[in-house]
Structure 1
Amino acid sequence: MSLASKLVLIILSVFIVFVAYSIHSILQPPKLDKPLPETWWTDKDPKDVDESIQQFSINIDETVLEDLYHRLDLFQEHTLPLQDANFTYGFNTDYLYNVIDFWRNQYDWRQREKFLNQYPHFITNVQGLDIHFMHIKPKITKNVKVLPLLLLHGWPGSIREFYRAIPLLITPRDGYVFEVIVPSLPGYGFSEGATKKGLGSSQVAVVMKNLMLKLGFKKFVVQGGDWGGVIAQNIATLFPENLIGMHSNMCSINTPATFLLTLIGSVFPRLVVEKEYEHLIYPYSSTFKHLLEESGYMHLQATKPDTIGIALRESPVGLAAYIMEKFSTWTDKSWKHLPDGGLTRKFTLTELLDNVMIYWVTGSITTSVRLYAETFSIAHLSLNIENIPTNVPSACVKFPNELLYQPNYLLSFKFYNLIQTTHFPRGGHFAAFEEPDLLVDDVFLFVKKLNV
């Protein structure tokens, strides 16, 4: 063999070893180097904090409502939508006038307070934060297994999303019933926001786990979507010993391996997804285009949360348009072609405004969107917690109009004990709000399989 041939062989061998090592590295799951610290998230002196659990009632000062009505009365004529634009350019300003008129003349916040207060509300301090939560116990517990269930909302949602599901969850079925805990995430609604940087989704998982421990639940079931789904996954990763099971309507993972496999699936889809669900992810160009259309808000909130927070805090109409638009296109992307965005096909204006009002009367929009900046920070991303595998028994519900679909093969890189996946024929991003019957049916089916 000539010298040149030997050099070529050596170079080729080194290249093959390099490629093999790179592929091996990509396929290796990340690991948690050390536990997350239990950070104190405010400037309060721990010695001055009341650690007790206090009853709470939603009762907004009249001056807040008077200010809201004044701002609504000052609403000026907005730029007309383009012809046939409907919701494709964002919230249609023609329909916005209907929303404002209903809000000002028919929507009654004092009546809505009574509705929201129908369940017991509480506040307690966890890691320096005053955390608000509902705690609903079932009335019938005889001859049934009572399981504590932590329900977690996301953005731009709130505790309001679960009011249709709660009565179903506290009604016994197949020998099980749930004791339901529904917190407002830190910085959302009636829960206090941090005064220090760094409270990302993984750190919120620590807060939520500590809330449940404080309530006396050493082991519990968790369910969530949107940020609630991410936080539920993080609890499963960080505190598997505290979970009976994890149920999510937005299971997700985005490792180098799953990204590479998703791209490979563009050419060989059957390697990644079953044929009957192939249309939910491929052609990937369409999926990627849709994600680009719907994720502009995310880039803004992940980089300049306080700027958008200032704008939305100054205008209730702007806040309503910004939030309610998501309940159109995230529920069904085809609704963007409708002049009313399809908003009242699954929701009422009263229900949608309840959610908007929780943000407005608490002034929490800025602290809520900071969760994006903290989670997408370099410090948080370097933890890679979302992609660390978990052995906690898990269930992933897949609604056809969810923003992103991930097949079971990819989810198996995260969920090593995925005991249940369900594909439903209808439903979108706000599962508990849109399809409470379907979601609750799936939760009961899941716990029945756990045999607890």
Structure 2
Amino acid sequence: MTITREPETFIVRASDAEIDDLRARVRAWRAPAPLAGDDWGTGVPLSVLASMAQTWAEEFDWRAIEERLRGIPQFLVEIDGQPIHYAHVRSSQADAVPLLLCHGWPGSYLEFLDIVPLLTDPGSGPAFHVVIPSVPGFAFSTPLRDGDWTTDRVAGAFAELMAHLGYDRYVVQGGDYGAGVAPAMGRLDPDHCAAIHVNGSIGAPMGEPDDEEKNRSSGVELDRYRRVAEFMQSEFGYIAIQSTRPQLIGVAMTDSPMGQLAWMLDKFRAWTFPFDAEPDGRLGRDRILAHVTLYWLTRSAGSAAYTVYAAESGDWGSQPEKPWQPVGAIMFAHDIGIRRLAERDVDIVRWTEVTDHGGHFAAMEEPAELAADLRALVNQVW
């Protein structure tokens, strides 16, 4: 892949007109009549949405988010004609380990705001130079210039970015979609990617376990089989839609901030720990609304769905080549990975089980623990 436009400094700044328009649309929300029960079983309860809408229109301060983001160096580069936005925070320790962090859906590069200072701190050893790209189709890595942004192509672009930044040897970490990009970077850039760390999504069990598998599974592993089966039965609908009709999502969400909020809030609630807790309890309303606002301002609902689900849907279930790099993984309480299943695809050298806390959005929910586990892997293999 090639750099088709050199990096330029990027500053996040929405216009006053955009912010005023968003607030006006939220205040003018056209609520439907509630369905029977009006609970999480059919979507986000209208009472929750109404409360979130009031916070969004009257209290949430996007300018405060922008002010925080101005403290993080950000850039816009073009790779193979595609705009790629990234944050690049260097540690004060000159020989810090280069690290790329990759987000997933419905997240964004905002997931990593709390973990960056933990990683760049030279007093924690080892320290990291942190690179956080926005996946093509997300946030400011928009618009999509073409439709061929598979996981491998995204990984190739990120490897090219690390080379362009002068990092000859680096580590990559990812969760959700990023847990697929990270091993792909290892396969595609074997001479420079030195280690891989993932959280949550690797080694997920699929289908009903047979008797042999049941006998060798622990109680935690059997519970993960159960939760995956329940997910496929009651939650898979969003994948079916985003992988086949991402443009429908794009049209609906780009014209309706409350639709964007409901679509994302459903997953922020479903995938955080403790199970079935209200979403703003652990993540906080400002953090949730920051993500939703970022999607809204960048009109990226459809393109994000396209990259993560539609562009890759034809390759689901395929068996890629196993990367050579050592892999570390941490599974928090909400996660679903099983080590022996993950070892079919990667070489696990460190596997951490956390069964009593933590959810899918590890960098936001448990940043200190995620940073510590990543450091432990690097200490082991770097």
Bin of the TM-score, shorter chain as denominator length: over 0.9
Partner amino acid for 1:439?
A: L
1:74 to 23, 28, 42: 28
Match of 1:289 in 2: 230
Does the aligned pair in 1 maintain the 2:73–2:88 contact within 8 Å?
A: yes
In the aligned structure 1, how far is the partner of 2:334 from the partner of 2:242? 23
Are 2:210 and 1:266 equivalent residues in the alignment? Answer: yes
Indicate which of 137, 140, 148 corresponds to 1:190: 140
Within 2, Cα distance between the matches of 1:185 and 1:292? 29
Match of 2:310 in 1: 373
Which of the residues 258, 266, 271 maps onto 1:325?
Answer: 266
Structure 2: distance between partners of 1:272 and 1:77: 50
Cα-to-partner distance string for 1:252-294 (whole Å, 9 max, x where unaligned)? 358xxx86xx64x431235653x25333334x4x531223322
Within-5 A mapping of 1:170-189: 170-173=120-123, 175-189=125-139
Other-structure match for 2:48: 95
User: Secondary structure of 2:210's partner?
Assistant: helix
Is the contact made by 1:396 and 1:422 (CA closer than 8 Å) also made in structure 2?
A: yes
Structure 2: gaps (5+ residues): none
SS of residue paired to 1:161: helix
Q: Which amino acid aligns with 2:255?
A: E
Distance in 2, matches of 1:78 and 1:100, equals: 14
Aligned length: 380
CA contact under 8 A between 1:395 and 1:421: conserved in structure 2? yes
Could you tell me the percent identity over the aligned residues? Answer: 27
Which amino acid in 2 is paired with 1:446? Answer: L
**1:104–1:313 Cα change, 3 Å:** same
TM-fit CA distance, 1:78: 2.6
- For 1:288 and 1:80, the matched residues in 2 are separated by 28
Calculate the TM-score normalised by the size of structure 1.
Answer: 0.79
The match for 2:242 among 292, 301, 314 is 301
Q: Report the secondary structure of 1:123's partner residue.
A: strand
One-letter code of the match for 2:213?
A: P
**Bigger radius of gyration among the two:** 1
- Structure 1 position 202, deviation (Å): 1.5
In 2, Cα distance between the equivalents of 1:342 and 1:238? 40
The TM-score with structure 2 as length reference comes to 0.93
**Residue of structure 2 aligned with 1:421, choices 339, 347, 351:** 351
Q: Check conservation: 1:331, 1:429, Cα contact below 8 A.
A: yes
Q: Which residue pairs with 2:333 in the alignment?
A: 400
SS in 1 for 2:127: strand
Report the CA distance between 1:324 and its aligned residue: 1.4
In structure 1, C-alpha distance between the alignment counterparts of 2:124 and 2:72, rounded to whole Å: 24
Structure 1 stretches of 5 or more lacking a match? 1-37, 41-45, 336-340
> Conserved in 1, the CA contact under 8 Å of 2:109 and 2:134?
yes
Q: How does 1:210-229 map to 2 (within 5 A)?
A: 210-229=160-179
Letter in 1 for 2:310: A
Partner of 2:275, secondary structure, is helix
Compared with structure 1, are the counterparts of its residues 398 and 173 closer, same or farther at alpha carbon in structure 2 (3 Å cutoff)?
A: farther
Whether contact under 8 Å (2:250, 2:299) holds in the other structure is no
1:318, CA displacement in angstroms?
0.6
User: 1:128 aligned to 2:52?
Assistant: no
Take 1:156 and 1:287, find their aligned partners in 2: how far apart are those partners? 19
**Partner Cα separation in structure 2 for residue 99 and residue 251 of structure 1:** 29
Query: Would you say the 8 A contact 1:149–1:179 is kept in 2?
Result: yes
Conservation of the 8 A alpha-carbon contact between 1:243 and 1:392: yes
Structure 2 SS opposite 1:244: strand
Q: Is the 8 A contact 2:24 2:57 kept in 1?
A: no
**Following superposition of structure 1 onto structure 2, how do residues 426-445 of structure 1 map, counting pairs within 5 Å?**
426-445=357-376
